[in-house]
Structure 1
Amino acid sequence: MKLINWSYAKRYNIKAVFDEFPHVVVLFRQIGGYYFIFSMKGLTKEHIPTRKDYVRMEYLLNKDLGLLEAYIERKYKN
Structure 2
Amino acid sequence: MRLLSYSYLKKGKMKAIYDRFSDSQVIFCKINGYYFVYYVRWSENDPIVVTQDLIEMEYLLNEEMDTLDIYLTRKRNN
TM over 0.5, shorter chain: yes
The match for 2:44 is: 44
Which amino acid is 1:63 matched to?
Answer: E
Q: Could you say what the CA RMSD is over the residues aligned between the two structures, in angstroms?
A: 1.4
Q: TM-score, normalising length from structure 1?
A: 0.92
Q: String of CA shifts for 1:48-76, please: whole Å, max 9, x gaps.
A: 11111000000000000000000000101
Residues of 2 paired with 1:24 and 1:45: CA distance?
8
Query: Which position in structure 1 is the counterpart of 2:59?
Result: 59
Q: 8 Å contact 2:14–2:29 — kept in the other structure?
A: yes
The CA distance in 2 between the partners of 1:44 and 1:72, in whole Å, is 31
* CA distance in 2 between partners of 1:46 and 1:12 (Å): 26
> For 1:53, what is the secondary structure of its paired residue?
helix
Distance in 2 between the 1:6 and 1:40 partners?
14
Q: What's the CA shift for 1:44? A: 2.3
CA distance in 1, matches of 2:56, 2:71: 12
Q: Give the match for residue 32 of structure 1.
A: 32
* Aligned residue pairs, count: 77
Point out where structure 1 has 5 or more consecutive residues left out of the alignment.
none
Question: 1:42 Cα shift?
Answer: 3.0
Alignment correspondent of 1:71: 71
* Residue 45 of structure 1: how far off its partner (Å): 8.3
Residue matched to 1:21: 21
Q: Structure 2 regions of 5+ residues with no counterpart? A: none
